[in-house]
Structure formats: structure tokens, C-alpha cells
Amino acid sequence: MKLITVGKLKDKALTALVDEYVKRLKPYEKVEILEVADMMAPESNSDAQNEQVKKIEGERVLSKIKENEYVILLDLWGESITSEQLAAKIEKIYTYQSSNLTFVIGGSLGLSPELVKRADFRWKLSDCTFTHQMVRVLVLEQFYRATMINRHMPYHK
């Protein structure tokens, strides 16, 4: 499993949680976390400038995705699914589509149209808003939970 994110994780507490879920997943799954540089996006940016930021960040993410990867894009306009549905989706992907699963967390301004087009599945994590740094932890936790569900292990209860 690969997780591509725009921007660096700076919060030590969140870094510790990310490290914990990577450690928990280690016996079951190799986890690769790739960070691409984000761009400064002042509040005073015009819509056109914001679109340019999304385009550049999107290109940086796309450069890290291989053709044979199944891409799950975290997207506010994606589909909401339960943990059990995520587990079933992951199992189906691994069985029938690709052994290379990639989750993508875009930048703070949103996603470029090219990145949205590349996505195989668009996942709406929640109706709530979270920081991009917190979403990293939530994605890893949900992936770990799905792994435990698929292995019929007790964590998910």
C-alpha cells in the first residue's frame, strides 16, 4: 500500500500515530508514504492562481503514480463507505484488479481535474472537515482496520 500526500507532516503527535499504524501494518502489508511539496497559497490568491496551485500539486502527485496502481483518491465529492465496505473493496481490488493500491491525499486547495480523472475510486472520508495531516492518520487507521476485517482479526470491534 502506498500513501501519497501533498505537504509534509509536521506535528509530532500525528507523526507518532502514523508511525504506530505503519508498525501495526508491518506484519501484513508494506506501507510506503510519499510526500510531495505543497505550494504556498495565500488567501489573496485569485481563482486562477488557486487552479494553478492545484495543477502543479496534482502533477507532482501524478508523477509518483505508476500505470498499474489502483488509486483511491480522498475527495470531498467522493463516495462515503463504511469500514466494512472499505475492507470488501480492498479485498476485491487485491483479488481482481491490482496488488498495487495507492491512496492519495491532495493539497489544501483541493484536487486538480487531472488527478480526479486518474482516480479509480473517490473516497469521501467524512462529512466533517479534517486537516490534511489528520487525514493521513485516519486513512492509515482505516486501512489497518480493513486489513484486520479481511483477516478476521478482532481489532475492528
Q: What is the pLDDT of residue 157?
A: 53
Report domain 2-156's class.
Answer: alpha beta
For residue 155, the model assigns a pLDDT of 77
- Please tell me which residue, 42 or 2, carries the higher pLDDT value: 2
Query: DSSP secondary structure string, 4-58?
Result: EEES----HHHHHHHHHHHHHHTTT---EEEEE------TT--HHHHHHHHHHHH
Q: What is the pLDDT of residue 40?
A: 79
On average, the pLDDT of the chain sits at 94
- Over residues 20-66, the pLDDT tens digits come to 999 999 999 999 999 999 987 777 888 898 899 999 999 999 999 99
Cβ pair 105, 3 in contact under 8 A? yes
pLDDT in tens, 108-135: 899 999 999 999 999 999 999 898 899 9
**For residue 39, what pLDDT is reported?**
87
Checking if the pLDDT of 156 tops 60, the result is: no
**Mean pLDDT of the region 63-74:** 97
The answer to whether 110 is a known ligand-binding residue is no
User: How far is the C-alpha of 143 from the C-alpha of 37, rounded, in Å?
Assistant: 24
Q: Is 74 annotated for ligand binding?
A: yes
**Structural domain spans, the chain:** 2-156
Please tell me the distance from the alpha carbon of residue 139 to that of residue 72, in angstroms, as a whole number: 11
